[in-house]
Structure 1
Amino acid sequence: MATQPSSTPGRRPARLSRDSIVNAALTFLDREGWDALTINALATQLGTKGPSLYNHVHSLEDLRRTVRMRVVGDIIEMLNTVAQGRTRDDAVMAMASSYRSYAHHHPGRYSAFTRMPLGGDDPEFTEATRATAAPVIDVLASYGLEGDSAFYAALEFWSAMHGFVLLEMTGAMHGIDTDAVFTDMMMRLAAGMERR
């Protein structure tokens, strides 16, 4: 008699919930990438069929949006944690290093984070992505920056990190001491904040 396929031989698939599906999607993203994330592909990973996921997520877009929101929340928490008790150059380097590490350890999640622009069609996601600037703005206050100056500096900070990470992840910096270049870049940014 044939047995039903399962993600682990001899065991039934784990009970599904919205959280378990989102967690599985996060793992899937880092292994397979954003474009590979479909309801059926994720269901296969979970040892079930696509229609059973629709009891917990409304659509693929609902799943992807929820994943993006979770990633944004994780990045905000990470930045707040590493910046706690730090100021100025020490805080800038800690945040930049953690951001870079997150992108390399979670490439699929990082891709999800950067999929929608700051001024996209989803107001809640737009607000959440803007909130990722808050930990950086708090650190920039230790340089005396505030208001629009702090917000623009936070965008510059993110742009530099994001651009560098993308160049690294696409192999454009092969053969270069990227750690040294990254540290130098961030210290130049910090020096610019100091001069402001």
Structure 2
Amino acid sequence: MAAQPSSTAGRRGARLSRETIVNAALTFLDREGWDALTINALATQLGTKGPSLYNHVESLDDLRRTVRMRVVGDIIDMLKTVGQGRTRDDAVMAMAAAYRSYAHHHPGRYSAFTRMPLGGDDPEFTEATRQAAAPVIDVLASYGLEGEAAFHAALEFWSAMHGFVLLEMTGVMDGIDTDAVFADMVMRLAAGMERRR
């Protein structure tokens, strides 16, 4: 009886898709970090060789950009979900807590989210990042803020969240009751929203 050809390579190739590769990259980021993400490193995680990934992604830049866009979308969805049905201080606190939790549970993805500035040279990513402020702006409307005032307030909110998260993640606030400090900071931000009118 003739030996049957091995189908291992075929199964491995069939398993790969752009979606599979992007999902693997997201997992890789949280474990290894942004700077470690390369085509060859990701291919190793997937049990294949680097060249096979190029059937689905054009380059490392293409992969990283796709990952960033996916993370921005996930954050927007998360903020919309936690803010739904909430207003004012309750909504601000819920969004802040969700944002902080995401950063701690997905440090690599969070790093990808903050890698490009709002005014970067990628118009689509720039617009997507600006849209990440939309759920916060919607909540700020319950304080009577709208237009440019709401957008600026959302940027201030994001700046405070990002700064706090970075201090936590780098260990600067080790030994401090960060939960209490965080809650106090968010409530002060919320009180500031009320006064901005």
Q: Normalization by structure 2: what TM-score?
A: 0.93
Structure 1: unaligned runs, 5 residues or longer: 1-5, 7-11
Instruction: Write out aligned runs for 1:53-64 (5 A).
Output: 53-64=53-64
State the partner residue of 1:160.
160
Say whether residues 1:67 and 2:57 are aligned partners: no
Q: CA deviation at 1:195?
A: 1.4
Q: Tell me the CA shift for residue 133 of structure 1.
A: 0.5
- Deviation of 1:36 after TM superposition, in Å, equals 0.2
Instruction: Tell me the residue number matched to 1:9.
Output: none
What is the CA–CA distance in structure 1 between the aligned matches of 2:68 and 2:133, rounded to whole Å?
16
- Partner of 1:130 in structure 2? 130
Q: 1:80 Cα shift?
A: 0.2
* SS of residue matched to 1:191: helix
Alpha carbon RMSD of aligned pairs, Å?
A: 1.3
Q: For 1:24-103, what aligned pairs fall within 5 Å after superposition?
A: 24-103=24-103
In 2, Cα distance between equivalents of 1:71 and 1:54: 22
Match in the other structure for 2:4: none
**What secondary structure is seen at the aligned counterpart in 2 of 1:193?**
helix
Alignment correspondent of 2:22:
22
| Residue-by-residue CA offset, 1:102-122 (whole Å, 9 max, x unaligned) | 000000000000000000010
Cα deviation 1:17-61 (Å, max 9, x = unaligned): 000000000000000000000000000000000000000000000
The residue identity in structure 2 corresponding to 1:67 is V
Partner deviation per Cα, 1:118-142 (whole Å, 9 max, x = no partner): 0001000000000001000000000
Q: Which amino acid in 2 is paired with 1:62?
A: D
1:88 is displaced (CA, Å) by 0.2
Q: How many residues are treated as equivalent by the alignment?
A: 187
Could you say which residue in structure 2 is the equivalent of 1:113? 113
Quick one: which amino acid aligns to residue 63 of structure 2? L
Structure 2 CA distance for aligned equivalents of residues 147 and 184 of structure 1: 27
Displacement of 1:147 in angstroms is 0.7
The one-letter code matched in structure 2 to 1:193 is M
Whichever residue aligns with residue 94 of structure 1, its letter is: A
Provide the C-alpha distance between the structure 2 equivalents of 1:139 and 1:77, rounded to a whole number of angstroms.
Answer: 14
* TM-score in terms of structure 1 length: 0.93
Structure 2 portions without partners, runs of 5+: 1-7
